[in-house]
Each structure stands twice: as C-alpha cells, then as structure tokens.
C-alpha cells in the first residue's frame, strides 16, 4: 500500500462523526497493518467512562476506512480489541488487495458529504423504501438493528425518554460542565473550528445566543434552573426539533460489550451515509442511550431518575440496548457551518 493510499484511508476515517467532535482516534501503521486506538487525551470523560462514546466513534471511523478502502480495491481483515489488557486498542486492520472485488461501494461517495444538521423544521416523509434501505445498512453489521417508533404512542414514549435525558444534561452540574466544556465559544458564532463544537453548528437562534453563552457558568445555570431552564432547554433542543421532523429511529445494539458498541458505531455510520445518499439530514441524540446504560457517574440526586430512564428506554426498544436516536428529515439547504477536523498528522504516525 503506498503512502498516498494510506493517507486517503485515514482521511476517510477522520471524516467520521464523534460525540462533541472529540475525534478520539489514534493511528499507527506497521507495514500495511493499521492500528486504530482510542486517544487517551480525548476520551474517558464523564459520559465516556467505559468508552461507550469513543467506541461508537471508533466504529464509525473504522467503517469509513473500510468503505473507502473497498472503493480503492482493498479488503480489510479486522480484529477488534486485540488485547484485552490494552483497553485503548480498538482494532487492528489488515488490508489486502482484493482482485475479486468490483470496487462498487456507493457509500464511499457520501463520506465527505455526511454531516450533523441541528436545524429544524425538516419536511418530507420517510417512506418505507427509505426505512428499508437504512435498516438494511444497519443489519449488514451483525447483531445491529434500527427501531422506528411508528404509532403515536411509541413516538411519544421515545420523545419523552429523549427529552428527559437532554434535560438532565442541563440539570446535573456534572453533565452541564461536560457539555459546555466541549463548546468552543472563542470561535464566535460564525466560524467552524477544527475540534470540539463550534457554536455556529449548534443552530441556536441569534436572540438566544447571549443567554445560551451565559449558561456555561454553573451559577447562572443553577439559578435559571430554579425557573425551569433545564426543562425548557430539553424541550427546545430535543422535543421541538423531533416533533418538527418526519423521522426518528434508534440504533439498538445487542449487548454493551465493547465489541458490540464498536459494531454499533459501524452500523451508525452505514445508516448515516445511506441517509446522506438519500438526501436526508441527520441529527443524533445519544444522551438517552448512553446515560441509561448506568455507567455515567452523576450526582446521587440523579441516580434514581437515571435508572427510571433506563427502564423506560428498555420498554421502548427491547430486546437489546437502544443507544443513539437519529432525527431525520429533508432540509431545504445544506447547513452553512460544519464541524472541522484536526490536521491528519495530529492523529499519529502517517507511515
Ligand atoms: C456517538 C455520537 C454521539 C453524538 N451525540 C450527539 C448528540 O447527542 N447531539 C448532537 O447534536 N450531536 C451528536 N453527535 C454528533 C457530533 O456532535 C458530530 O458528529 C460532531 O460534532 C462532528 O460533526 P459532523 O457530524 O458534522 O462531522 C454525536 C455523534 C456521535 C458519533
């Protein structure tokens, strides 16, 4: 494999999504074998103890690399978590030229186009054909599936779980600190940034921006929470956009074993790329699934609500663990601002 091909594969990898745009990936080549590792400096935060979010991002990155390499005529032999005593080593990938392959990999064309869109409202309707295409992509990764709340009752139950989780992110001081620490207010409201969340990508309405910015201070958040601010924010960030979008589905993984979470990231990416090819806008909501796994250390006052959230989510999508909701719909235009990426060299050895 030449240097150029290796760099192209890594570029596809880092175009993958990651929670809070943390990009928690490290790469190392040995010959034509590639090690994908979780970056110790960009993982393991409060919501990422047990690396659930990082493993999802690693899975998405891995899938992008496999898809792009396939379009270049390479097949991948993947070993996930090769050494149990090395918890940051997510995968070893052995690339080999695949002369049998016809190199047709339609999803490859969507890798650079895929992005998160937090705007609303979105129109259209998600046809059963579209749902079937997205389902098929999830199922290509063994054990993974999408759940679609169909009836008003199912949609209401899903919405309630998402809203409660998003509300908790503003109510719990620990989750609030984590959320706001990833927003790069220094970038201003009009520019992208290469790591973390640029305010410009958050779709906050101009009149609300000063208030939102003030909320990063724990004392302001605590004071406004006495007036119900967290509930309002849960409503505005989740309930309203989802109500005003035609589609909602949930990625369900078979178990919380790390290899299944990583496989969930691969499925998430395939679904998102297919949605991109279909012209759909996508916003993930991960708080409900991740918080209800019970791994996140929040204040004691939130532990009971969290376990209720876990049961409610289980009722929504059992069997399995619902991990990431996806809001879907057709936007009239592409968002002006998109999250950037760090320079490739900062992810480790290029050769
Ligand atoms: C595991 C995971 C969880 C995410 N959770 C959320 C979320 O709860 N809310 C949200 O708006 N975006 C969420 N995102 C989207 C990321 O913030 C986004 O991928 C990142 O900022 C990079 O932007 P891009 O997708 O436009 O490339 C999540 C992404 C991943 C991979």
Q: Is the pLDDT of residue 264 over 60?
A: yes
Domain 3-114+338-347 and domain 128-329 have a common topology = yes
Q: Measured in angstroms, how far is the CA atom of residue 181 from the centroid of ligand 1? A: 15
pLDDT per residue as tens digits for the range 30-80: 999 999 999 999 999 999 999 999 999 999 999 999 999 999 999 999 999
Query: Mean of the pLDDT values across residues 98-125?
Result: 92
Assigned CATH for 128-329: 3.40.109.10
Nearest to 175 by CA among 342, 341, 53: 53
Express as a percent the part of the chain with pLDDT over 70: 99
> Under CATH, to which class is 3-114+338-347 assigned?
alpha beta
Closest residue by CA, ligand 1 atom 12: 284
pLDDT value of residue 350: 61
pLDDT per residue as tens digits for the range 126-143: 999 999 999 999 999 999
Q: Is the pLDDT of residue 249 over 90?
A: yes
pLDDT value of residue 99: 82
Q: Measured in angstroms, how far is the CA atom of residue 119 from the centroid of ligand 1? A: 13
Handedness of CA 225, 299, 251, 109 (dihedral sign): positive
| Cα 4 from Cα 227, distance rounded (Å) | 56
2's CB contacts (< 8 A; 6+ apart) are none
pLDDT value of residue 349: 66
Q: Measured in angstroms, how far is the CA atom of residue 68 from the centroid of ligand 1? A: 21
- The domain locations on the chain are 3-114+338-347, 128-329
Q: Which atom of ligand 1 is nearest to the CA of 16?
A: 27
**Binding site membership of 288 for ligand 1 (Cβ less than 6 Å):** no
pLDDT value of residue 100: 80
Q: Is the pLDDT of residue 351 over 60?
A: no
pLDDT value of residue 104: 81
Q: Measured in angstroms, how far is the CA atom of residue 338 from the centroid of ligand 1? A: 11
Query: Mean of the pLDDT values across residues 223-236?
Result: 97
Closest residue by CA, ligand 1 atom 21: 21
pLDDT per residue as tens digits for the range 94-106: 999 998 877 689 9
Buried b (16+ CB within 10 A) or exposed e, 315-348: ebbeebbbbbbbbbbbbeeeeebbbbbeeeeebb
pLDDT per residue as tens digits for the range 178-208: 999 999 999 999 999 999 999 999 999 999 9
pLDDT value of residue 101: 72
């Amino acid at each position: 494999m030449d240097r150029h091909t290796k760099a192209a594969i890594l570029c596809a990898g880092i175009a993958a999504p990651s929670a809070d745009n943390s990009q928690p990936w490290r790469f190392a080549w040995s010959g034509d074998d590639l090690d994908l590792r979780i970056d110790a400096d960009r993982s393991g935060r409060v919501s990422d103890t047990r690396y659930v979010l990082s493993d999802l991002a690693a899975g998405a990155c891995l899938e992008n690399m496999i898809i792009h390499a396939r379009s270049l005529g390479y097949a991948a032999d993947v070993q996930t978590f090769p050494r149990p005593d090395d918890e940051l080593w997510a995968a070893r990938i052995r690339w080999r030229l695949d002369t049998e392959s016809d190199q047709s990999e339609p999803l490859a064309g969507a890798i650079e186009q895929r992005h998160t869109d937090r705007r609303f409202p979105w129109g259209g309707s998600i046809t059963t054909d579209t749902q079937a295409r997205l389902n098929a992509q999830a199922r290509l990764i063994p054990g993974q599936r999408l759940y679609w709340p169909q009836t008003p009752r199912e949609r209401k139950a899903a919405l309630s779980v998402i809203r409660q989780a998003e509300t908790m992110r503003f109510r719990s001081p620990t989750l609030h600190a984590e959320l706001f620490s990833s927003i790069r207010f220094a970038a201003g409201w009009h520019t992208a940034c290469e790591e973390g969340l640029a305010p410009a990508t958050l779709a906050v309405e101009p009149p609300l921006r000063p208030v939102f910015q003030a909320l990063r201070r724990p004392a302001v958040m605590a004071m406004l929470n006495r007036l119900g601010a967290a509930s309002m924010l849960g409503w505005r960030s989740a309930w309203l956009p989802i109500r005003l979008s035609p589609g909602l589905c949930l990625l369900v993984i078979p178990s919380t074993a790390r290899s299944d979470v990583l496989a969930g990231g691969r499925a998430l990416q395939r679904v998102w790329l297919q949605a991109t090819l279909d012209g759909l806008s996508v916003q993930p909501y991960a708080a409900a699934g991740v918080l209800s796994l019970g791994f996140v250390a929040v204040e004691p006052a939130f532990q009971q609500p969290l376990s209720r959230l876990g049961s409610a989510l289980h009722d929504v999508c059992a069997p399995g663990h619902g991990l990431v909701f996806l809001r879907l719909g057709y936007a009239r235009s592409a968002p002006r601002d998109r999250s950037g990426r760090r320079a490739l060299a900062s992810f480790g050895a290029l050769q």
